[in-house]
């Protein structure tokens, strides 16, 4: 029960690759990576610490495999669990809808989750609107990554965010700082 469950959906592979890069930092033996296309609600029972990775597609829409799982995710009981989010998007190409899917997923999970961690500053991004913003605060609901426009910043952002959630998840295992 002490392992982290990292659930992701990915159309083009970017979020899948990010999942692997997070696991490298937190320890590959500490993280189970699960494709949302292959899981059932029961898989969520195995973890009390979760990272949910979701890209936004098609003008503010949820990635297709997450979309197919949406009724199930609404039925998952996250009580007793600590949850963090990672969102991927394109701030210049889709600046009116930047990371919207991460915000929509957060809105579902927060209804039952005990604790959300991994909030992340909105500074350093250039976009018009996002459903992933925490209302009234200069924060996203989770780590914001942009492999289309700011891929060169991803490695440092991952190191910083993993350090943050290593503390927030209260992990005893060592944290690996990696340049990748």
Ligand X SMILES: Cc1cc2nc3c(=O)[nH]c(=O)nc-3n(C[C@H](O)[C@H](O)[C@H](O)COP(=O)(O)O)c2cc1C
Comparing CB distances to ligand X, the nearer of 10 and 159 is 10
State the residue for tokens 């899917």: 101
At residue 86, the 3 state secondary structure works out as strand
User: How many secondary structure helices (H) and strands (E) does the chain include?
Assistant: 5, 9
Contact between 55 and ligand X per CB under 6 A: yes
Half-sphere exposure of 162 (CA within 13 A, CB side): 27
Closest approach of ligand X to the CB of residue 112, in Å: 26
Q: Looking at 11-19, 34-42, 71-79, 133-141, which segment touches ligand X (CB under 6 A)?
A: 11-19
Task: Map the footprint of ligand X across residues 129-158, applying CB under 6 A.
Answer: 147-148
Phi/psi of residue 4, nearest 5 degrees: -90, 135
Contact between 89 and ligand X per CB under 6 A: yes
Q: Is 13 left (phi over 0), alpha (psi -120 to 50) or beta?
A: left
Applying CB under 6 A, the site for ligand X has a residue count of 23
Q: Looking at 10-18, 40-48, 106-114, 168-176, which segment touches ligand X (CB under 6 A)?
A: 10-18
Residues forming the site for ligand X (CB under 6 A): 10-15, 55-60, 63, 88-90, 94, 97-100, 147-148
């Amino acid at each position: 029960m002490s392992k982290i469950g990292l659930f992701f959906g990915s159309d083009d592979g970017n979020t899948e690759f990010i999942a692997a890069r997070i696991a490298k930092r937190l320890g590959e033996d500490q993280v189970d990576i699960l494709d949302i296309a292959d899981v059932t609600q029961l898989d969520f029972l195995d973890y009390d610490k979760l990272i949910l990775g979701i890209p936004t597609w098609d003008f503010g829409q949820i990635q297709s495999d997450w979309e197919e799982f949406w009724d199930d995710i609404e039925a998952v009981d996250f009580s007793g669990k600590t949850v963090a989010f990672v969102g991927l998007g394109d701030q210049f190409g889709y600046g009116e809808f930047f990371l919207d899917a991460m915000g929509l997923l957060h809105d579902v999970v927060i209804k039952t989750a005990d604790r959300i961690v991994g909030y992340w500053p909105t500074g350093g991004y250039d976009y018009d609107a996002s459903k992933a913003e925490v209302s009234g605060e200069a924060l996203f609901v989770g780590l914001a990554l942009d492999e289309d426009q700011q891929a060169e910043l991803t490695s440092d952002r991952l190191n910083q965010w993993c350090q943050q959630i290593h503390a927030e998840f209260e992990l005893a295992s060592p944290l690996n700082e990696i340049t990748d």
